[in-house]
Structure 1
Amino acid sequence: MRADTVPSSSTWIAPERFTPAEDEGGLNVGALFKTLQRKWWIIAGMTAVSMGLAAARVLTEKPIYNGTFEILVKAQSTETEVISNVPETITSQDQDAVNKDLLKILTGPAVLQPVIEGIKERYPNYCPATPANSESSDSLEFSYDPCYQILVSRLRVNQFGKGSDIIRVTLQDPDPQTVQVVLNLVSQAYLTYSLESKQADIRRAMEFVEQKLPDLTNKVESLQDELQSLRLDYNIIDPDSRGSQLSGQVNTFSKQQLDLEIELEQNRATYESLRGQLGAGQEQASSAALEANPRYQSLLNSLLQLDTQIAEASTLYLDGSPDMEILKEQRENLLVLLEEQGEQSQRDLLNQMRALEAREQSLNQTLQGLSSDVDELSGISREYVDIQRELGIATENLNQFLAKQAALEIDSAQREIPWEIVTPTTKPRAQSISLTQDLIIGGVLGLLLGSVLALLLDKSTGVLYLEKDIQRTMQLPILGKIPTPQTTIPTVLDPAKALQLANGDVKKGATDHGSSVIIDDPFMEAFRSLYTNLRLSSSDQPLKSVVVSSIMDKEGKSVAAIHLAEAAALLGQRVLLVDTNLRDPKIHSYLKLPNDAGLTDLALSDANELTKSTFLHEPIDGLKVLCAGTKGHDAGHILTTKRVQKLIQQLKPRFDLVVFDSPSLLGQSDAYLVAEQVDGMLIVARPGQLKQNLLDQAMDQLRIANVNVFGVAIRES
């Protein structure tokens, strides 16, 4: 590569020029569908094989007979019923009769051992012969019996429905008579198991009752002794009646105390009132205590009469007269007597108050004693109630256990089977085998297996089928997508035939070199877009030369080089197409041009002879073609000669664009030698043919050679 045309820093695609899009992740349904479409023959083959095997299985398989019977299972054992009725125990009453444990037990060795013995007795050839010691009654050894294993594999024990107490038992076997006999043996074994289980429950329940009875009896007697000691210690029969008696007494004495306090307050008020009145004078005293004193009232009346006499005598006598003096002396004597009676009344009231206070103190003492008795009785009553409650519970438990003991003794003497056959063993019926259903299942299975196999094979080949896989590996931009051409190469470059074969409109336009035909064709439009993207990718300097190569042969690089040069010529550029694939030249064959004079011949002659018609051909206006030339020369040696290098440098100034068609990148160095002399390389890749390992190898070589790669042109299949 020329140092004056391409800076060393741009010899490889820089990160700022192109950053591949990150995968969004998730399942790519489109890519998966395309992969399955590519490997359709694998999927179809697997589907056919699977459906064939399914059909063969249906046609060759012996019929299997099914038989069933249904049995009703009671929900609760005798032992559980006994324990759940005891108040001291907490047992859930909502127990399912059928659970996983029961179903496991019904298919266990302990229950099915009589069935196996009956089968061996009736059908000696039902199962393989076993050693003599394998018929031991030990359930662990019995579980390894081949006959037991065969029976369990054919026997199905399931609950009839969710929450149902009915168990459905199904048996499959090629012999219908065997189905009938074995199911009868199984039903009899289940009924026997239910009876034995019931009897075992009764025995365990009786052991439980007999174990509990002594403790309950001792507890009842102990509580009775405590109750008797409590009554004797406190001299009571019933705390409630004693409490009622104390309550009545407290109420009576409390009422008396209240009345006494009222009477005492009244006497105190009367005493104080009497003292105040007597201090003011005997004549004005009117206390209730004085009114209750008849002598005081008699003296008071005598005083009033004497005052009346003195008033009458004062009208007749003088104050100093003997008669007046006598009357006044009598009055003084009455006052002295009144005063003595008043004091006597005070003493009487004081004595009454003292008596009432003494009585009040006695009532208080009595009430305090009653209050102590009440407090003591409350503790006694609580203890009495606790003992009575415990005694009642213990007595009830004892009575229930005694009743259960009697009931269990009766049940143990009975032999009634607790379970019941609801539906007897049905007549064995052949299991219907649906050919259509098996074919559908086989087809679906074949599709799945074929799809998985197709994906694995597709992954193992290492072929890249998706554009994004190629782009992610190469770390290069996709400059264009080349569709499949609708016409052959020569007719596209032949204006006369192109006008006849083009599907779109035909436009004529003037160029610097005359007239040319531009066909509105998606194929040519893809190359015009590719040429435009190439020019934009070389924006730092004008695009003058490009070498077109591919990773592998037969990826369409020569076709891409031809149409890229054609697209540039049709856009008015002076273009030279050079075939540098000296080992296997293709340009002259595609364009139907003579190859008797070309690059190899020109390299051995004077470069000035390039203008001769024997070297350059012009299939359309603006496009010159330099074929590879005659063979018989060492391509690697010719491309490294200074004459060829000088020739390439002389060609570029004479044209607007020089397109070099080079060999593929793997297995030979020709493309790298040409790339050193041009502005950059365009790689043509074809999904579905390119392999991952070859692509990685080519990219490593490009990095080592420091080749400037513009991008990738994707060739659609």
Structure 2
Amino acid sequence: MSNPQSNGINLSEYPLIQNSFSQNSVNPAPEVFEDDDEELDLRQISKVIRRRGWLMLGVGLAVTFLVGSRLMSRPPMYQEKFQLLVQPPGTDMSNPLAGIQSLTAGLNLGKDVSYYDTQIQILLSNKLLLPIVDQVNQEFLQDKTNREYFQGDDPLKIFDLDFLLRNLKVGQSKDTQILEVSFQDKDPKLVEFVLRALSNAYLAYTLEDQNIKSAQQLSFVDKQIPAVKKQLADLQKQLQEFRLKTNFIDPQSQGSVISNSLVALNQGKQENEAQLNQSIALYNNLRQQLGIGEQEAIALSALTESPRYMGLLNQLREIDSKLAAASARYTDDNVIIQQLQAERENLLPLLSQETQIALKGLPIDSTQFQSKFVSPNSIRLNLTQQILVAANQVKEAKARQKSLAATEQQMRQYIKDFANASGRYAELTGEIEIGTRSLTSLLSAKQLLEVESAKQFIPWRLVSEIRTPQRPYSQLFRNLLLSLVAGIVAGAAVGLLAESLDRSFHTPEEITEETGVSVLGTIPYQPGMTDFKTKAFKIFDQKKSDWTGFMEAFSFLYTNLFFLRERRSCRSFVITSAIPGEGKSTNAFFLAESAAKIGQKVLLVDGDRYFPQQQRWSLLARVHGQEPEVPFEELPDDSDNQLVPSLMSQNLYVIKAAGKWFNPTELVSSKSLAMFIKQWEEEFDLILVDSPPLLGIADTKLLANQTDGVLLVVRLDKTSRDLTKEVLLELKMSNIPIWGIVANGAKNSNRRDYYYYNYYRKAKATNAQLARF
């Protein structure tokens, strides 16, 4: 026994759409079932025809016959027609009237549709046909001279709008300007009367339609002219008020003035910038030469202009000279040196006092200049004056720069306001110009429309003569075609209905497409297998080729299963079906026999405790020509403690069903059966357990949980798709591996599963014929 949790192909890893035979993916896509009502493609339609062809053919022939008989029994019909020459209205492009097409678009006079299609719809409208119906009823059917339409004083014929539309046809002759109007009825006189009434109504319609169009166009223009005039007057008033409010006269001249002012402003900014840079450079140069700044220059200039300060400064310098000369001759204790020092000390307060007087009113600390100034000279005074001039020039240039920036800002705001005003001015003048042109066009259009309305209108013309039809027209081809179409439609509908009601699988491909599970083998239909007990010794009286093909299908099935289990290292399988009667027990026996014939040691376990299959298997073995070595009747019953395999034929062992071991309670609570299966896997190459159907019985899922997985048998043309999907879903929910599906009862002799055998049989027959020669 293998643990389903560890098995490599359990349904948790391989959902129902996973092809477990051809794919090795570990993480497949999630489960998806396509809807049954998806569109049929051509291949599916061909399958429906093959399966339901006789039903579709029978229904189609019956409907064709009934419809044809009905149509052929109708009385003869008379038909007549007349032709109208209809010339579509043209547009004279040299005429300014063409320019008002955009204006008349509001009246829907220029739709982008076919002119003739539009006229045909109008000719078939109630407005034109209802008067014809009244005229026919009043002037023709009420005429007592037409006695065939009366029974006593009551009219027999009902002529209404629906009757007229059913028998009236209006169409355009190909590549011409001619409309053909035809009418059919059993009475030729009525045909002529209706056609004459229609021709008169249609010709009158053209004249009325032209008059209405001309009146509509002229009315539209007359309504538009006052509106355009009022709109133009309002625009001119708005322009006048705008000029008075904004002093906006001529945008071109005002724009030139603004442009010149902006150029001059930019030029002044550039000149002031150059002068500012020049003054800053001169100031920095003079400051570097003198080693003083602007404030020091101001102080120096003020002190040099004070005579008393200059006198005291000269006295101080004279004392300093004497003190220097005396210091060279005397010591510091000498009376002369002390006297000179005393004089110097007396001058310093006077000099400081004079400095404060000279710098009074200036934001300068007078004490910081007393020890820095030297005796002034003309060059130093000149440079001092230049540095003051340069400082003043820098201040003046900066003030001018600030003023120019403010002026520029004002100028740009003015330009912005001017641009807004120019836009509004251009908008108003543009609207006035458009209104003027519109008014001129409308006035011209009115004159041209008045002239155009006065011109002669060319109406539609009747180009064929209306006569009383003499012969009924043949409807044979039409009736045959309608009958054939009705038969085809009815047959197809019945076939599709029968196919939609049939919920069974028909081909192995449908099983794979619907469920996503691989079909490991396709077993051909073998007559007599369903009622095998009554035809046990008759089914093999068929041709040898049919029986051999049947057995070859099981060899093909085991080959697929062999390669599949070799990759997965599995030996034990449960063979089951969704419902009874799908052939699971027969398939289990022949699959075991095919494996035994090629040398595999096979154990076939009868796990159906409700309907044991030992006698059926024994009968199959006898009829197939393989007498069991030990008849099933003589096989020992399984004891309460063990399950003993019994040899049925070469390499094939069987175990009879025992209620104890296959009871659901025993399968759930005990591990004994799992231990037996583990022992059998070591002894046998293949273990097949025939179990009850899945739906409604828990035995199969409990048995499958003890083995390596399930082989599901599906009988073609019988098993319901819904039941099969339900079974697969239950197995997936139970986490039971599904190894594949066996399609049983295939009636198509060209199945690919035994192509090789048919080819081999034909080749063998050919070689036998050649050997006789």
- CA pair 583-63 structure 1, distance change in 2 beyond 3 A: same
Q: Which residue of 2 aligns with 1:477?
A: 518
Deviation of 1:653 after TM superposition, in Å, equals 4.1
**Segment drifting more, 152-161 vs 103-112:** 103-112
Correspondence 1:43 to 2:56:
yes
Distance in structure 2 (CA, Å) of the matches to 1:10 and 1:160: 71
Letter in 2 for 1:454: G
Letter in 2 for 1:162: D
Q: Return the TM-score normalized by structure 1.
A: 0.53
Distance in structure 1 (CA, Å) of the matches to 2:662 and 2:33: 46
Letter in 2 for 1:56: S
Question: Can you list the C-alpha shifts for 1:341-387, whole angstroms capped at 9, x where unaligned?
Answer: xxxxxxxxxxxxxxxxxxxxxxxxxxxxxxxxxxxxxxxxxxxxxxx
Q: Which residue of 2 aligns with 1:55?
A: 68
Q: Do the aligned partners of 1:551 and 1:695 also contact (CA within 8 Å) in 2?
A: yes
Distance in structure 1 (CA, Å) of the matches to 2:507 and 2:542: 35
Q: Do the aligned partners of 1:569 and 1:623 also contact (CA within 8 Å) in 2?
A: yes
Q: Which residue of 1 aligns with 2:575?
A: 548
Correspondence 1:596 to 2:595:
no
Deviation of 1:177 after TM superposition, in Å, equals 1.1
Distance in structure 2 (CA, Å) of the matches to 1:107 and 1:457: 43
> Secondary structure in 2 aligned to 1:697?
helix
Distance in structure 1 (CA, Å) of the matches to 2:723 and 2:682: 36
Of residues 681, 687, 690, the one that matches 1:661 is 690
Correspondence 1:690 to 2:719:
yes
Deviation of 1:67 after TM superposition, in Å, equals 1.7
Distance in structure 1 (CA, Å) of the matches to 2:191 and 2:541: 85
Letter in 2 for 1:548: I
> Secondary structure in 2 aligned to 1:596?
helix
Correspondence 1:618 to 2:659:
no
Correspondence 1:559 to 2:600:
no
Distance in structure 1 (CA, Å) of the matches to 2:215 and 2:677: 113
Question: Can you list the C-alpha shifts for 1:168-204, whole angstroms capped at 9, x where unaligned?
Answer: 2212223211112222233344455566778889999
Q: Which residue of 1 aligns with 2:382?
A: none
Q: Which residue of 1 aligns with 2:734?
A: 705
Aligned pairs for 1:291-306 (under 5 A) are none
Distance in structure 2 (CA, Å) of the matches to 1:441 and 1:522: 48
- CA pair 645-186 structure 1, distance change in 2 beyond 3 A: closer
Distance in structure 2 (CA, Å) of the matches to 1:65 and 1:527: 71
Q: Which residue of 1 aligns with 2:188?
A: 176
Distance in structure 1 (CA, Å) of the matches to 2:717 and 2:98: 78
Question: Can you list the C-alpha shifts for 1:297-342, whole angstroms capped at 9, x where unaligned?
Answer: xxxxxxxxxxxxxxxxxxxxxxxxxxxxxxxxxxxxxxxxxxxxxx
Question: Can you list the C-alpha shifts for 1:546-580, whole angstroms capped at 9, x where unaligned?
Answer: 22222222222222211221122122122222222
Letter in 2 for 1:37: R
**Segment drifting more, 30-39 vs 14-23:** 14-23
Of residues 64, 82, 103, the one that matches 1:69 is 82
Deviation of 1:425 after TM superposition, in Å, equals 0.9
Distance in structure 2 (CA, Å) of the matches to 1:679 and 1:74: 86
Of residues 160, 172, 179, the one that matches 1:167 is 179
List gaps (5 residues or longer) in structure 2: 15-22, 102-112, 144-157, 221-443, 623-630, 747-773
Q: Which residue of 2 aligns with 1:156?
A: 169
Distance in structure 2 (CA, Å) of the matches to 1:122 and 1:502: 86
Question: Can you list the C-alpha shifts for 1:31-73, whole angstroms capped at 9, x where unaligned?
Answer: 3322232233542344134313422321332333212223445
Distance in structure 2 (CA, Å) of the matches to 1:8 and 1:461: 36
Distance in structure 2 (CA, Å) of the matches to 1:622 and 1:499: 27
Correspondence 1:531 to 2:558:
yes
Deviation of 1:664 after TM superposition, in Å, equals 1.7
- CA pair 636-123 structure 1, distance change in 2 beyond 3 A: same
Correspondence 1:581 to 2:608:
yes
Q: Do the aligned partners of 2:522 and 2:742 also contact (CA within 8 Å) in 1?
A: yes
* Count of residue pairs the alignment pairs up: 473
Letter in 2 for 1:618: M
> Secondary structure in 2 aligned to 1:470?
helix
- CA pair 587-103 structure 1, distance change in 2 beyond 3 A: same
Q: Do the aligned partners of 1:558 and 1:587 also contact (CA within 8 Å) in 2?
A: no
Distance in structure 1 (CA, Å) of the matches to 2:708 and 2:213: 100
Q: Which residue of 2 aligns with 1:450?
A: 491
> Secondary structure in 2 aligned to 1:536?
helix
Distance in structure 2 (CA, Å) of the matches to 1:471 and 1:97: 54
Over the matched positions of the two proteins, sequence identity in percent amounts to 26
Letter in 1 for 2:582: E
- CA pair 680-179 structure 1, distance change in 2 beyond 3 A: closer
> Secondary structure in 2 aligned to 1:546?
strand
Question: Can you list the C-alpha shifts for 1:647-681, whole angstroms capped at 9, x where unaligned?
Answer: 55554444333322222222212222332333333
Distance in structure 1 (CA, Å) of the matches to 2:120 and 2:83: 13
> Secondary structure in 2 aligned to 1:182?
helix
Aligned pairs for 1:64-143 (under 5 A) are 64-73=77-86, 99-107=116-124, 115-116=132-133, 118-124=135-141
Aligned pairs for 1:168-247 (under 5 A) are 168-192=180-204
Distance in structure 1 (CA, Å) of the matches to 2:216 and 2:701: 97
Q: Do the aligned partners of 2:607 and 2:662 also contact (CA within 8 Å) in 1?
A: no
> Secondary structure in 2 aligned to 1:39?
helix
Letter in 1 for 2:63: S
Correspondence 1:569 to 2:596:
yes
Q: Do the aligned partners of 2:136 and 2:194 also contact (CA within 8 Å) in 1?
A: yes
Distance in structure 1 (CA, Å) of the matches to 2:50 and 2:121: 50
Q: Which residue of 1 aligns with 2:500?
A: 459
Distance in structure 2 (CA, Å) of the matches to 1:97 and 1:679: 74
**Segment drifting more, 478-487 vs 41-50:** 478-487
Q: Do the aligned partners of 1:73 and 1:98 also contact (CA within 8 Å) in 2?
A: no
Q: Do the aligned partners of 2:192 and 2:468 also contact (CA within 8 Å) in 1?
A: yes
Distance in structure 2 (CA, Å) of the matches to 1:453 and 1:499: 39
What value does the CA root-mean-square deviation take over the aligned residues?
A: 5.4
Question: Can you list the C-alpha shifts for 1:198-250, whole angstroms capped at 9, x where unaligned?
Answer: 88899999999xxxxxxxxxxxxxxxxxxxxxxxxxxxxxxxxxxxxxxxxxx
Question: Can you list the C-alpha shifts for 1:516-557, whole angstroms capped at 9, x where unaligned?
Answer: xxx9x5544443343343343334664443222222222222
Question: Can you list the C-alpha shifts for 1:120-160, whole angstroms capped at 9, x where unaligned?
Answer: 3323459xxxxxxxxxxxxxxxxxx9845544554333334
- CA pair 433-553 structure 1, distance change in 2 beyond 3 A: farther
Q: Do the aligned partners of 1:84 and 1:91 also contact (CA within 8 Å) in 2?
A: no
Deviation of 1:702 after TM superposition, in Å, equals 1.8
Q: Do the aligned partners of 2:714 and 2:743 also contact (CA within 8 Å) in 1?
A: yes
Deviation of 1:503 after TM superposition, in Å, equals 4.3
Distance in structure 1 (CA, Å) of the matches to 2:214 and 2:515: 84
- CA pair 536-439 structure 1, distance change in 2 beyond 3 A: same
- CA pair 35-2 structure 1, distance change in 2 beyond 3 A: same
Aligned pairs for 1:235-314 (under 5 A) are none
Distance in structure 1 (CA, Å) of the matches to 2:545 and 2:691: 32
Q: Do the aligned partners of 1:555 and 1:685 also contact (CA within 8 Å) in 2?
A: yes
Correspondence 1:30 to 2:66:
no
**Segment drifting more, 146-155 vs 694-703:** 146-155
Of residues 679, 696, 699, the one that matches 1:670 is 699
Aligned pairs for 1:602-641 (under 5 A) are 602-604=638-640, 607=642, 610=644, 616-619=646-649, 621-628=650-657, 636=664
- CA pair 84-125 structure 1, distance change in 2 beyond 3 A: farther
Q: Do the aligned partners of 2:662 and 2:699 also contact (CA within 8 Å) in 1?
A: no
Letter in 1 for 2:77: I
Q: Which residue of 2 aligns with 1:425?
A: 466
Letter in 2 for 1:67: E
Letter in 2 for 1:703: K
**Segment drifting more, 476-485 vs 169-178:** 476-485
- CA pair 43-591 structure 1, distance change in 2 beyond 3 A: same
